[in-house]
Structure 1
Amino acid sequence: MKVDLLIRQANVFNTFLKQFEVKDIGVVDGKFFFANTIDWSTVNVKETIDGSGRYMIPGLIDIHMHIESSMVPPSIFSKAALTYGVTTVVADPHEIANVFGLEGMKAFLKEETEMDIFYAIPSSVPSTTTALETTGGVIGLEEVRELLEHPRVIALGEAMNFKGIVHEPDSLIRKILRETQVKQPFMPIEGHVPDVTGEDLARFLFAGITADHTQQTPSSIYEKITNGIFIELQKKSITKENIAVINDNQFYEYTAIITDDVMADDLLDGHLNTNVKLAIECGLPAEQAIYMSTYTPARRMGFQDRGAIVAGFQADFILLDELETFTIHSVYKDGKQVHEKGKSIGYPEQKPSYPPHFYQSVQGKGWTREDLQFAVSGERVICNVIQKSDVGTFTKRVQREVAVKDGYLDWEASGLSLLVVMERYGKNGNLSFALVENGLKEKGAIGTTWAHDHHNLMVMGTSALDMVVAQQELLRENGGYVVVQNQRIIGNCPLPIGGILSGAPIQQLGSDLQVVRQGMVDLGYVNTNEIMSFSTLSLPVSPTIKITDRGMLDVRTHEIIPFIERVIR
């Protein structure tokens, strides 16, 4: 026998016992092979590693994530995430699909990566309907049928349209669900099931949805798992209370640790490994944390060749210096080392390249201050307002009185922030408006084209002049994230590929985004994740009131909510 790599006397994780055993592990042709009874001196061994004192675990598997959240293409993301022991992901590319439709997803599928990247079909492009939000692309039944035939497409991405799933049997999302169940009856179907309970939860299950990754509570975890929903824990759901429910009820088999979204600046410090460490800190036994980030996600997606260290499985593994702190010494993909402690994140040999129109996707005319003025006949008005949370991405609808000055709504003196969404694909030029409570506390503006999921151009501010500067800069650089104060740009993260991605090294991009994040904080924006919080103010499937280019929207009823409720004369 010829062995390419031999790891001697490591503490090897036995997935099926959920404990460590001191073993010798051989790698042959990129797959595991081991037998402690072998006299290795009689075997042709190409390379030997002394694993004494280290912990050997399978490579991490992230089955619910969006590469675009890192704001880089797949090849750059692959280099970064491998650093943290992530060897396989199942990506739902609904962000690039919202911008470029099927063409965007095909561009991702063509890209070569060291990491194994499988894909879920974006089932909600747009996340609601074309009548409620304008997108650059649409994924309909024909696109779904084509993608169902692709060998690297292994799941249906998160179904998000609450009204379409629960109340409209003939909606596009219900048709996509039925088509998937007919053509691929064993394909996993991912769900987006926030704050859904009782009969509504049963309707999600009845439609074929069998997993949820949204923000959880102890009661939602218990109800969903005991009703057949597989739970995927992202960072904001990894709390001591939630972990206690999983421990107390031994829910390990029905739960996986995932990321969903990791921003470019956070990717400088970690990926799925960060959430694994957090779960351990919150009380999840280390062995169960490993199990829930390797084997249960592999089983959920139907992988038969990874997620455990057994003969015949792919030799994707991590060597840890310490177990409880999850300190990574080195990472191996197909039996070859792809990262070692102390080395920086790499960059692909060839810079990612896309068609020219991918770099020219932000269209529209520049604003003037007059575009942000609202003529009103009366002394004051009652406005419908989006109340932003300081934690998470949920919002509330409230009403606030705003004064009128010289015949115009005096929003700049209201203590609220103005939020504007501009359709940016050159289809209709829509502009919609809202006021936000708990937005910016200082004078300034923030803007982005990375606005979930339609990715139109969105600007929020307390100064009209600063908002104009932000919008014009986004047009000039073909998308990104900007922060403006006193008509000066104090934070800028260009994203010229579709307005949502950059081909820059992750170190540069992450540094730019850190400056943007700090600029938001300096303007008084408060949230546990400032970038995600702002970018999801435009996500019309996340409770309870959001904005698209069509206007403010009640997420459950799809009712368009007027900017001004009534004028008080």
Structure 2
Amino acid sequence: MHSTLQKKIAAAAKQTKADLVIKNGKIVNVFTHEVIEGDLAIAEGMIVGIGRYEGKETIDAEGRYICPGLIDGHVHIESSMVPPSEFTRVVLPHGVTTVIADPHEIANVAGIRGIQFMLDDAKQTPLDVYIMLPSCVPAASFEHAGAVLTAADLAPFFNDERVLGLAEVMDYPSLREQHPSMLDKLALAANANRLIDGHLAGLDADAVNVYRSARIHTDHECVTADEALERIRRGMYVLIRQGSVAKDLEKLLPAVHEHNARRFLFCTDDKHLDDLWFEGSVDHNVRLAIRAGLDPLLSIQMATLNAAECYRLPTKGAVAPGYDADFLFVEDLETLKITHVFKQGAIVAEHGRATFSFHPASSETEPKLLQSIRCRPVTEADLRIPMTKGNKANVMEIIPNHLHTNHLVTEVDVRDGAFSPSVERDLLKLVVVERHRGLGIGLGIVRGFGFQAGVVASSIAHDSHHIIAAGTNDRDLVVAIEQLRRQHGGLAVVKDGTVLASLPLEIGGLMTRKDYTEVLNGLKQIDKALEAIGACGSFNPFITLSFLALPVIPELKLTDQGLFDVKRWEWIPIEAW
């Protein structure tokens, strides 16, 4: 019996028929930025030739473009609220055939069990899910996450060929001060010749020097073209992010030109299921880039070859001999309208629908993942914010469609010696309830949601994933938090003491075993409930809420231990004077 390699060579040499030949297609060549013509020959799941070929099976591309499968350079699958097996059904029809995933959301809840769950579930799918191991669990040394992962905990995962390296290093103080636990993780990756991702939110060029000296080679947190240029000048790759809350593409594209474009790629980072389904994954990034004036072939190269080279995937990212037969049929390059998606030479999606057979996430998921909400009941008395020195307060102001927040000092309403939320001033109460061990409750004041009534609450709160809630009154806050306790996590909207809508996320309080269509319907009900409390609709309140507890992104954030000034790297009181 011939070996697989012999079969490929024989088909390439036309000594035997290829398994599949694609005829009448226009091949997008990402190496030379040209469109070429010729038959595409495939054997054993690999492209073996471009030219004139005969195959055991023939498919007529009918004049469509043949593009490489798209690659999402950095994604937290958990943010879609479904596990990899269901996530695949949503992104494959959008032409995404490979993702570089960082499972640090589930790792912050369940440690190595969470990482293993993601790896095991991803095995069931035709999507190539590569993993970057979480480097900061917890995100900062003082955080009360559900787990603490050391280099020793991570080391066994490097035996899995799908593990490419160490994920976003976001604890810059530990990096800068050479904390032993951080050095151990960096050394683990370096000694295994694996990659290390960065996370340089709000950091200057001096910090880039620190990251590069630690052999950290990417950043997906740039929000200006100048920041992007600082990073690529020092040898980094920049991932241009367009997610559900962080939408940086328009601001970063001016940094891209023909001389430096090979250092840029696309990612989604965090994107909700409904946005993925209706808007798209990195295919949406490509369309936006083309619409903004970037050459279509360059845009496609950024979403394919650039990403593959960045993450050392030598058989991904191009339609050429020696590359995996992961490609798309596209009707035109301006709109990137995808009609067919191929994975290893087999059709896996057609006209926007997945066509492969799949297996849902295991019903035997570990109890630790299904019973992860362990906080005590909360009372209205627990939510009181005393104001003893006047009516000025340190207030977090959200910036719609951004992860950063502003730090305001402003006057607030005070009633009976405590802060009173104000719809007129758009000053709401913000609550973080520690949910892994039932430790404590953090309280703060937030501006920018614009709710006219009610409360939103979620167990998705990056990265420790405590329960986080924002609203106009204490009664609804208590009802919403209790709803999440009862349903083992998820989302809830409450008004006048009534739960208007909720979406249980029983896997770690982050994901559900439900079919993605059920989740889409649940999110539709959530959207209706948001309208009922007066949400403006110009940004997603839940995704914005989920980042208000992440103390590694400036300026002001709320943890279960209180209000945290990210720039000063210290807790501060709510009262200001």
What TM-score range do you get, normalising by the shorter chain? over 0.9
Question: Using a 3 Å threshold, how does the CA distance of structure 1 residues 314 and 283 change in structure 2: closer, same or farther?
Answer: same
Confirm whether residue 180 of structure 1 aligns to residue 189 of structure 2: yes
- Identify the residue that residue 207 of structure 1 maps to in structure 2: 214
Does the CA-based 8 Å contact 2:85-2:359 persist in structure 1?
A: no
Kindly state the Cα deviation for residue 208 of structure 1 after the two structures are TM-superposed. 2.1
- Identify the residue that residue 477 of structure 2 maps to in structure 1: 467
- Identify the residue that residue 17 of structure 1 maps to in structure 2: 32
Confirm whether residue 533 of structure 1 aligns to residue 533 of structure 2: no
- For 2:547, the aligned partner's letter is T
- Identify the residue that residue 424 of structure 1 maps to in structure 2: 435
- The Cα offsets for residues 156-175 of structure 1, whole Å up to 9 and x where unpaired, read as 10000122223x11253343
Question: Using a 3 Å threshold, how does the CA distance of structure 1 residues 8 and 537 change in structure 2: closer, same or farther?
Answer: same
Does the CA-based 8 Å contact 1:234-1:260 persist in structure 2?
A: yes
Match of 2:145, SS? coil
Question: Using a 3 Å threshold, how does the CA distance of structure 1 residues 172 and 7 change in structure 2: closer, same or farther?
Answer: same
- The Cα offsets for residues 530-557 of structure 1, whole Å up to 9 and x where unpaired, read as 3321110011111111111111112233
Confirm whether residue 123 of structure 1 aligns to residue 146 of structure 2: no
Confirm whether residue 325 of structure 1 aligns to residue 332 of structure 2: no
- The Cα offsets for residues 285-335 of structure 1, whole Å up to 9 and x where unpaired, read as 110111111101111111121211122221111001121100011001111
Match of 1:483, SS? strand
**What is the rounded CA distance, in whole Å, between the counterparts of 1:90 and 1:518 in structure 2?**
33
- The Cα offsets for residues 55-97 of structure 1, whole Å up to 9 and x where unpaired, read as 0011111121111011111111112211111111110000000
> Could you say what the CA RMSD is over the residues aligned between the two structures, in angstroms?
2.0
- Identify the residue that residue 191 of structure 1 maps to in structure 2: 198
- Identify the residue that residue 303 of structure 1 maps to in structure 2: 313
- Identify the residue that residue 283 of structure 1 maps to in structure 2: 293
TM-score by length of 1: 0.92
**What is the rounded CA distance, in whole Å, between the counterparts of 2:235 and 2:283 in structure 1?**
27
Kindly state the Cα deviation for residue 241 of structure 1 after the two structures are TM-superposed. 5.0
Does the CA-based 8 Å contact 1:217-1:237 persist in structure 2?
A: no
Kindly state the Cα deviation for residue 253 of structure 1 after the two structures are TM-superposed. 0.7
- Identify the residue that residue 482 of structure 1 maps to in structure 2: 492
The share of aligned pairs that are identical, in percent, is 31
Kindly state the Cα deviation for residue 4 of structure 1 after the two structures are TM-superposed. 1.9
Superposition pairs of residues 41-190 of structure 1, within 5 angstroms: 45-111=55-121, 112=123, 113-129=125-141, 131=142, 133-166=143-176, 168-170=177-179, 172-181=181-190, 183-185=191-193, 187-190=194-197
Question: Using a 3 Å threshold, how does the CA distance of structure 1 residues 280 and 140 change in structure 2: closer, same or farther?
Answer: same
**What is the rounded CA distance, in whole Å, between the counterparts of 1:37 and 1:564 in structure 2?**
75
Kindly state the Cα deviation for residue 146 of structure 1 after the two structures are TM-superposed. 2.1
**What is the rounded CA distance, in whole Å, between the counterparts of 1:215 and 1:531 in structure 2?**
22
Q: Which runs of 5 or more structure 1 residues have no equivalent in the other structure?
A: none
Match of 2:449, SS? coil
- Identify the residue that residue 553 of structure 1 maps to in structure 2: 564
- The Cα offsets for residues 228-265 of structure 1, whole Å up to 9 and x where unpaired, read as 12110111555455323313x53211000111112111
Confirm whether residue 28 of structure 1 aligns to residue 38 of structure 2: no
- For 2:80, the aligned partner's letter is S
Question: Using a 3 Å threshold, how does the CA distance of structure 1 residues 350 and 503 change in structure 2: closer, same or farther?
Answer: closer
Does the CA-based 8 Å contact 1:369-1:465 persist in structure 2?
A: yes
**What is the rounded CA distance, in whole Å, between the counterparts of 1:377 and 1:324 in structure 2?**
60
Match of 1:417, SS? strand
The farther-off stretch of 78-87 and 471-480 is 78-87
Kindly state the Cα deviation for residue 382 of structure 1 after the two structures are TM-superposed. 2.5
Does the CA-based 8 Å contact 2:86-2:360 persist in structure 1?
A: no
Confirm whether residue 271 of structure 1 aligns to residue 281 of structure 2: yes
- Identify the residue that residue 514 of structure 1 maps to in structure 2: 524
- Identify the residue that residue 10 of structure 2 maps to in structure 1: none
Q: Which runs of 5 or more structure 2 residues have no equivalent in the other structure?
A: 1-15
Confirm whether residue 398 of structure 1 aligns to residue 408 of structure 2: yes
Match of 1:101, SS? helix
- The Cα offsets for residues 112-137 of structure 1, whole Å up to 9 and x where unpaired, read as 221111100100111111x2x21111
**What is the rounded CA distance, in whole Å, between the counterparts of 2:401 and 2:533 in structure 1?**
17
Kindly state the Cα deviation for residue 373 of structure 1 after the two structures are TM-superposed. 2.3
